[in-house]
Structure 1
């Protein structure tokens, strides 16, 4: 009798409505799926059909309570068992259902995003209670709002609805810089929650790791943090590789066929070399592209033909850029590397989108240092044949001018305006920057652009040297 009553109510509910058709069809087939009822209710609310939305929210029950942080409404004529109504409290968030039926989301159009290929990076931390392969298949998002329950709840909804998670996904809160205009990459983020696939592919486990954002007793974040740390180390290398491929494509008009093309001898040294993880990323993606190639023509290799028609992101299996993500989510380190120099506070930062990846103190020349947008047009190791000369051990020319970013034999001048216009850096800092940025990187110089924090790699990032980057045939006369 109860089943017949449910079918009759469904029939009457859908009798006159044509939209949103895809959700309605799913709920007809799966009337006990509370996530589907909740999504349908949100769709009706957006259309201003609040009566129908109310009915859906009632059917959604605890799913509604979890996402809306309040008890599910009760339309007139709907009877609830006493035990259910008694369970309701103002802390509906704390009862957020741990197992979410992902099959619902698949039906409404979630596209599967291939995971990055397995990586091999030294000093990767072990995963407590986790399969070591999980980091390679993990996705990490930053919440674009604050740590309040509303922002986190909205971000979680977007993760579940629009972004199909792999075996493990993490939502984190990136720490803002002092001026709150940027996110600091090297400042460990707060891990808010993780979503882990279970053996049953139709279910996922949600675990909360931050008491402030969930107003709950958080679970142990050890596994999530270990996976995040491994992911972050690999993410930096993926970012450098994507930026280098983009720089190579701007310079040559085509994508590299082999990764060695990124580290040719001076003056074509986009990068000094690549790490083993970067090599594996490139090779694995090239192999994947080749398997989908049509029959090659005119003697052109299949891999070459394919790679010459892809973006830098596609060339290394990257996520979409931050702007393409659903509202409320940020995919860290997806935009190409850029350099920003602030003449007011003597800072040089390496950024990806709105995230500061590194921040260094620099010496400048006050009004003698030009402002505007430049690019790294030349990279040279040991300019003028030595590492301890006036330009230090590294030099990077700005747009074929007499200005450069370089080391110095006057380290006390860093933080001051004593140069003739160039940008001076300390030895360890300039060597890390040199290894991370591809030739062709954009450089913006201005005032009032940056916070004052200094954030270096610990330990400093070092790229393997696979090429010759010296230029003994030239005497450099930058405006030191």
Structure 2
């Protein structure tokens, strides 16, 4: 690629000449927005335009490095010239070297993306689940999944189907599944594969909607193959955790500040305003598409104070709910030595923890502080993460004594394994409520084989404070 003009706008126009996409317009207007460059790079990579993808990732700089957990492997000369574009005072002196840097960039791209070379990884918090043939990402976005609890009688399933068809507009797919309970409790396990009972595929004529029954017991019929519906549910579930973490963060930010965030960077401010460590590209895309709808939904959560009664249950059918439609909260069971991250009656995660017996207080608290590597260490007495409860000396934190998990050896704090507290830290926004008591949770754990992770896009350390939590 040969850039003859010395004007950055002309250079950008040349770069985007043959690829009209909305992101290109945005980065032309905001050439210093590194998140936009990163998203544009992902677009190009999806199109197989690896050279241009690499160029965008280099422009994205530390945003790319945070998302992909690696640096852009380019010659230093190329990176130096690219990062120098924003300085107009030095532009004239650097243009000669910029041409050389871009030539090196194109050469690096040619080598890196030669046949047989590995492609750049894409950061995801969960494994990407392929969609069934003929189902588009847009249809997945509009898919509605419902859970039903209790028995699978034909009467109950019929009432649930009637509610699905009458109470909600189905524009894509609607799927009814039975959530799997944990033990002999009313808690439903999010991580256990739900049992798909029926599916509805929308048609232009609502009277022609295709209804497929997938469970012989609940329909008294020869069931249809559930494969397609199960695959849709799996793909839907892979996106829901990111969506719920984002919406919970917005809700608790709104509660604390009296307004919803205008930009997601307000959620990823440096300590002590670090509501979240960062956001994924999917979370950013969801916010960009549905900012106003999310603000209205989360404002209602705040108004109801996170009450599950109005936000999740559907009228007309006993036990019919829409999962992952309530803000996240933490429940700690002192009897079972368990800490669960829950949404409504769904247990999203459940971990074994170490406690302090009667020294661990009971009641309702909130996460008022989140700190990475408390006291400047990742392997100290508080481990690599800490979350303060209601500005007290009690906290949820890691430990350098993993053998204490499941026991009452602390002075009152809640100890967690390293991998567990790091996942919980990423999933738990600042402001999340915490309830501590006895007899609240089932004894079994519920941990993911691929832990949830957010990219680090802010500063979360607090070197100016010595933490003395009641460990």
TM-score by length of 1: 0.68
Selected match of 2:317 from 313, 319, 327: 327
Q: CA deviation at 1:123?
A: 3.9
Alignment match, 1:452? 443
Verify: 1:345 aligned to 2:336, yes or no: yes
The answer on whether the counterparts of 2:125 and 2:452 sit within 8 Å (CA) in structure 1 is: no
Selected match of 1:207 from 167, 189, 212: 212
- The alignment covers a number of residue pairs equal to 339
The answer on whether the counterparts of 2:326 and 2:344 sit within 8 Å (CA) in structure 1 is: yes
Counting only pairs closer than 5 Å after superposition, residues 60-79 of structure 1 correspond to structure 2 as none
List gaps (5 residues or longer) in structure 2: 1-123, 302-307
Question: For residues 311 and 216 of structure 1, what CA distance do their matches in structure 2 show?
Answer: 39
Question: For residues 257 and 151 of structure 2, what CA distance do their matches in structure 1 show?
Answer: 42
Question: For residues 208 and 198 of structure 2, what CA distance do their matches in structure 1 show?
Answer: 16
SS at match of 1:358: strand
Q: CA deviation at 1:324?
A: 5.3
Cα displacement string for residues 425-461 of structure 1 (whole angstroms, at most 9, x for unaligned residues): 0000000100001011000000011101100122000
SS at match of 1:240: helix
Alignment match, 1:426? 417
Cα displacement string for residues 246-285 of structure 1 (whole angstroms, at most 9, x for unaligned residues): 1101111111000111110000000111111111111112
Q: CA deviation at 1:201?
A: 4.8
Question: For residues 185 and 421 of structure 1, what CA distance do their matches in structure 2 show?
Answer: 29
Selected match of 1:147 from 149, 152, 157: 152
List gaps (5 residues or longer) in structure 1: 1-119, 290-305
The answer on whether the counterparts of 2:388 and 2:394 sit within 8 Å (CA) in structure 1 is: yes
Q: CA deviation at 1:360?
A: 0.2
Q: CA deviation at 1:389?
A: 0.6
Question: For residues 166 and 231 of structure 2, what CA distance do their matches in structure 1 show?
Answer: 26
Please tell me whether Structure 1 or Structure 2 has the larger radius of gyration of its CA atoms.
Answer: 1
Alignment match, 2:30? none
Q: What is the root-mean-square deviation in Å for CA atoms of aligned residues?
A: 2.1
Verify: 1:272 aligned to 2:258, yes or no: no
The answer on whether the counterparts of 1:375 and 1:399 sit within 8 Å (CA) in structure 2 is: yes
Selected match of 1:471 from 462, 466, 470: 462
Q: CA deviation at 1:198?
A: 2.9
The answer on whether the counterparts of 1:146 and 1:173 sit within 8 Å (CA) in structure 2 is: no
Cα displacement string for residues 361-385 of structure 1 (whole angstroms, at most 9, x for unaligned residues): 0000001100010000100000011
The answer on whether the counterparts of 1:242 and 1:313 sit within 8 Å (CA) in structure 2 is: no
The answer on whether the counterparts of 2:200 and 2:212 sit within 8 Å (CA) in structure 1 is: yes
Cα displacement string for residues 143-200 of structure 1 (whole angstroms, at most 9, x for unaligned residues): 2442221211110111112222121110000011102221111111100000001354
Counting only pairs closer than 5 Å after superposition, residues 22-421 of structure 1 correspond to structure 2 as 123-133=127-137, 134-286=139-291, 310-312=296-298, 321-323=311-313, 325-328=315-318, 329-421=320-412
The answer on whether the counterparts of 2:125 and 2:453 sit within 8 Å (CA) in structure 1 is: no
Question: For residues 372 and 182 of structure 1, what CA distance do their matches in structure 2 show?
Answer: 20
Cα displacement string for residues 335-384 of structure 1 (whole angstroms, at most 9, x for unaligned residues): 11110000001000011111111000000000110001000010000001
SS at match of 1:192: strand
The answer on whether the counterparts of 1:121 and 1:234 sit within 8 Å (CA) in structure 2 is: no
The answer on whether the counterparts of 2:129 and 2:238 sit within 8 Å (CA) in structure 1 is: no
Alignment match, 2:32? none
Bigger Cα displacement from structure 2, 138-147 vs 197-206: 197-206
Question: For residues 153 and 351 of structure 2, what CA distance do their matches in structure 1 show?
Answer: 32
